[in-house]
Amino acid sequence: MAAQAVDEPAAIQRPDSFGRFGKFGGKYVPETLMHALDELETAFKSLATDEAFQKELDGILRDYVGRESPLYFAERLTEHYKRPNGEGPLIYLKREDLNHTGAHKINNAVAQALLAKRLGKKRIIAETGAGQHGVATATVCARFGLECIIYMGAQDMERQALNVFRMRLLGAEVRAVHSGTATLKDATSEAIRDWVTNVETTHYILGSVAGPHPYPMMVRDFHAVIGKETRKQALEKWGGKPDVLVACIGGGSNAMGLFHEFVDDDNVRLIGVEAAGFGIDSGKHAATLTKGEVGVLHGAMSYLLQDEDGQIVEPHSISAGLDYPGVGPEHSFLKDLGRAEYYSITDEEALEAFKRLSRLEGIIPALETSHALAYLEKLCPTLPNGTRLVLNCSGRGDKDVQTAIKYLKV
């Protein structure tokens, strides 16, 4: 590895010892949380080399979560994007939708619950937008016998009533947050307030690669299994690497989980797809990396949707999991570095892709994932023949059927 680090300037320490990705990241938190974050980082680093912990985690990921998830060749989707001359890319889906609870979120939730047990913390709190991270957290708390409190924006609770019921069924207490826009940003703020108050007994299972250090690093590393499996599966299937990786971006954990393994492979394109809502210039979107400015939110510096006074602008997306006004600091770093590309997709385009994958492959994707799928419309015509593209199918769409019913004529 040492030689590679010299040859490839991309092989940078991410994050540095201060938890920064270039200028992004860091720990902008009240003094009361510094000790908890330091304790968490120490525990995380020691467990990374702890064979018993890794063995227990691998066992649970295999037998409980159902890993590894398949790398599936989407034959009819590939056919759909063939040009008149019969050329086009080969499209593969990394099937995170087949995990227990139906999304990638469980990878991180299981690992953090095990970590909390090692720290002797019996009370777990989490925030959730789409409800998938809330369901994953409630699931692992049931599995390990931990008390579970989930903060969720009141508006999201309405949109994701099914997931609210699932969390309560699993034994979690779901607390509605009415402040601000009553969505993910406000649920996160409320969860941080709870943590400040109960830091001695409580572990906060943050659900994305956002927040203060060590969370962006830790959540990424717990999801890195997605990219590691993809590398291995690609080698088995075609004896090489993917040429292009595509994933949707809200906070950015599913994308970071796929990208991390390949960041130092300069010949692999990394593409993140954000939510353009009603359109990039409508003011009603969640395209943080496309339209945001640098600022601090929820303990880290990153790109944010903010007005001239630095106040957070309310994001919008048809997908509850993407309407976050910030983004993980490592994505901000990869954007500025030019290592990853970020584009955005409207609600309407995402709904079309939601229907398209259902019809072509018999897979109903999450509306979050549908944003990544929709970008194929723009990307595929530009790709050379035989380009191997892996799209992270980050979640299944059962949770979004109620939303889709209002907009789609089927």
Q: Would residue 5 count as lying in a domain?
A: no
Q: CB-side exposure of 8: number of CA atoms within 13 Å?
A: 16
What pLDDT does residue 147 have? Answer: 98
Q: Would residue 7 count as lying in a domain?
A: no
Among 58, 107, 119, CA closest to 209: 107
| 206 & 301 share domain | no
Q: Would residue 4 count as lying in a domain?
A: no
From the list 208, 253, 370, 394, the catalytic residue is 394
Whether 38 shows a pLDDT value over 80: the answer reads yes
| 91 & 146 share domain | no
- Domain stops at, among 162, 181, 215: 215
Whether 227 shows a pLDDT value over 70: the answer reads yes
Mean pLDDT of the region 369-395: 98
| pLDDT-based confidence at residue 209 (cuts at 50, 70, 90) | very high
Question: Tokens in use for 68?
Answer: 């590894």
Q: Would residue 2 count as lying in a domain?
A: no
**pTM for the whole structure:** 0.95
d(CA 153, CA 169): 19
| 91 & 124 share domain | no
d(CA 30, CA 178): 23
Q: Would residue 15 count as lying in a domain?
A: no
| 383 & 331 share domain | yes
Q: Which residues, other chains included, contact 80 with Cβ-Cβ below 8 Å and sequence gap of 6+?
A: 356, 360
Q: Would residue 6 count as lying in a domain?
A: no
Percent of the chain with pLDDT over 70: 97
| pLDDT-based confidence at residue 8 (cuts at 50, 70, 90) | very low
What pLDDT does residue 130 have? Answer: 79
Q: Is there a catalytic annotation at residue 394?
A: yes
| Range of the structural domain that residue 263 is part of | 67-101+224-407
Q: Is there a catalytic annotation at residue 355?
A: no
Environment class of 39 (CB within 10 Å of its CB; exposed 0-12, middle 13-18, buried 19+): middle
Query: What CATH number did the domain enclosing 136 receive?
Result: 3.40.50.1100
Question: How many domains does the chain contain in total?
Answer: 2
| 303 & 396 share domain | yes
d(CA 49, CA 54): 8
| 250 & 263 share domain | yes
Q: Is there a catalytic annotation at residue 105?
A: yes
| 247 & 373 share domain | yes
d(CA 210, CA 338): 20
What pLDDT does residue 7 have? Answer: 40
| 79 & 119 share domain | no
| 158 & 188 share domain | yes
| 112 & 208 share domain | yes
From the list 27, 94, 105, 399, the catalytic residue is 105
Percent of the chain with pLDDT over 90: 89
What pLDDT does residue 310 have? Answer: 93
Among 388, 393, 289, 384, CA closest to 341: 289
Q: Would residue 3 count as lying in a domain?
A: no
Q: Would residue 11 count as lying in a domain?
A: no
What pLDDT does residue 402 have? Answer: 86
| More confident: 216 or 12 | 216
d(CA 311, CA 289): 17
- Domain stops at, among 215, 234, 268: 215
Alpha helical stretches, state H, 28-170? 31-48, 51-60, 75-80, 105-119, 132-144, 154-159, 161-169
What pLDDT does residue 11 have? Answer: 62
d(CA 271, CA 367): 18
From the list 96, 127, 274, 330, the catalytic residue is 127
| 81 & 166 share domain | no
Whether 404 shows a pLDDT value over 80: the answer reads yes
pLDDT in tens, 15-37: 999 999 999 999 999 999 999 99
| 294 & 375 share domain | yes
| pLDDT-based confidence at residue 181 (cuts at 50, 70, 90) | confident
- Domain stops at, among 215, 237, 271: 215
